Amino acid sequence: MAQAWRCAGLSWTAGGPVLIWDGGRRSALTWGKTVAFGVAEGGARTCVGARGNRCPLAARVSARSTGPRCEDCARLDRAHSVAADTLADDPRPYRVYLAWFGSGMTKVGITAERRGPARLLEQGAICFSWLGTGPLMAARRTEELLRAALRVPDRIPYAAKRAARAALPSAGEERAAEIAGLHARALGLTGWPESLEPAPFRPVDHVEAFGLAEAPAPVGVVGELAAGGALSGELVAAAGPDLHLATDRGVLVLDTRLLPGWELVPGGGRRVEVPVRALKERPTAQDGLF
């Protein structure tokens, strides 16, 4: 019987996307590399636990969920988290940023300075610019100020980000235009915390880093994994947690957040034996009532 592996998720490094496995092993992903795996027969997706501890119930998790934890473990995992606003005593510096995912989709957020742009790559930001650097609570207050004054959210549904990638402007200047205007307005606001040092507008574009410039448009999305299923394809692009794989059925998007919790085995050939759904188009504004 082939050795089974458990995936801990996708990480972004200076060299590109990397799959992380339980035990610390890493698999660097490069364009053209074949990504092939099967799901162990007879198994089920189980909770990955929290904060380095196994789930005491080995609870089952929905195959369609992008969260690999049961409710109790998810609550424990977020109990000391910047994202959940339950960590307020981190003395290290944080950065405030504006991130753009597509036309009309800009968000404001914060990330630890030590992480560099990793958080933006993980979110699938097409373009971003830093706004300022300072203590955690100053960064959080600035984030709230910008949300209220500029009417930009701090979260964007991931399905909307994915759909927007199909219609990106070809020029980097166009992709940076929205955050350029918002950045200028942000620096003109009053009420910034004194301890937060503003940053000049310097857009960073991720289209090349994601491989989106030359990659064919995807035609479908892997909806879930299932015991006995398999998937194989060549990596042509990646953005956020998504891998774009060229298969015999066209380019399919695999959200790697679906992998943790399954026992995975080596795969081969060009197989697509998992449920696939059509890629949702981004909704457009309605021209009229009828």
Q: How do residues 11-57 score in pLDDT, each as one tens digit? A: 999 889 999 999 889 999 999 999 999 999 988 999 999 988 999 99
Kindly report the pTM of this predicted structure.
0.91
pLDDT at 284: 46
CB hemisphere CA count around 64 (13 angstroms):
5
Reduced to 3 states (helix: H, G, I; strand: E, B; else coil), residue 101 is: strand
Summary mean pLDDT of the chain: 90
Say whether pLDDT at 85 is over 60. Answer: no
Cα-based angle 208, 161, 132 (whole degrees, multiple of 5): 70
The partner residues of 205 in beta bridges, in order of sequence, read 127
Say whether pLDDT at 286 is over 50. Answer: no
pLDDT at 290: 28
Say whether pLDDT at 287 is over 50. Answer: no
Which whole number is the average pLDDT over 216-227? 94
Cα-based angle 126, 196, 92 (whole degrees, multiple of 5): 80
Which whole number is the average pLDDT over 225-253? 96
- What DSSP line would sit under 10-28, residue for residue? EEEETTEEEEEETTS-EEE
The Cα–Cα gap between 256 and 83 comes to: 20
**Paired tokens of 18:** 């990397």
Q: How do residues 94-130 score in pLDDT, each as one tens digit? A: 999 999 999 999 999 999 999 999 999 999 999 999 9
Say whether pLDDT at 201 is over 80. Answer: yes
